Structure 1
Amino acid sequence: MKKNTKVLLGGCTIILTILILLIAATPGASGTEIPIQEVLANPDKYEDRYVTTEGFLIEESIEWRADEIELYFDIVDSDGNVLSVYHHGVRPDNFSEGVITILEGYIVPGEPFQAERVKTKCPSKYEGEDPNDYDPEFHKELLDDK
């Protein structure tokens, strides 16, 4: 074989190997985003597929087992559909009532959602106020009082 052919074959092999490793290492890239209602209605359809779903945390449902690093909780969507969740990993810091919880993991029919990743969005209390509601007179009064 010529030297150019060997280099070309070696380069193609390296590129193909990198592509295979990237696809295998990122199951979330091939995941499907589905609403809670769909998870509950068709669990068999999504069995063994990496999926993403989200809902509002129900604080009373949180069961944190620190010794086993296990977290059980429920989330609810705007229609009232409740999804039970199991996560083997650390408990997120801002885990409180009404926080939006984003789950990535697997559906096993008859069992809680098997979350590999649990992320939370900041509650609306941390969002800024609407700039259209700004009242310059209010701030002028505050400064005049000092």
Structure 2
Amino acid sequence: MEKLTHINEQGRAKMVDVSGKPVTRRVAVARARVCMKPETLSRIRQGNMEKGDVLAVAQVAGIMAAKKTSELIPMCHPIPLRGVDLRFSEEGDSTLVIEAEVKTDSVTGVEMEALTAVSVAALTVYDMCKAIDKEITVEQTCLIRKTGGKSGDFIRKGE
């Protein structure tokens, strides 16, 4: 079992010291699925929701969330983001897939920023559509791939 880096010698949480690590290019891609009624996805696609353009608002919310990750997740380091991009696609007639790609040149990775981006974008979709579909679920939020850093590259099996 690997030693947890966020635990000090007293067994308490700590922020990891990254001061000795080299700056490298780091990229992370995360994904979330938002499952809903087919009519809801159809209305999103048509831009026919009372609160406005769901995907445009979710896009901006995801970017903002990536930028605020260190303020939301206690042990995350504030890092300079070089790029944040969210993409939307559909699976079948009732699932919206959200992917976020986040880039930095830093001493620590951007996995949490990518995961936070898709999570907040998915919650934004829920918020904008809940009036017509309270059964929306956010599912399968996960890291798809990451590059850079000491631990090397990661690609989720099946990707």
TM range (shorter): under 0.3
- TM-score scaled by length of structure 1: 0.25
TM-score, normalised via structure 2 length = 0.24
Larger relative contact order, structure 1 or 2 (CA cutoff 8 Å, min sep 6): 2
Q: Which has the larger radius of gyration?
A: 1
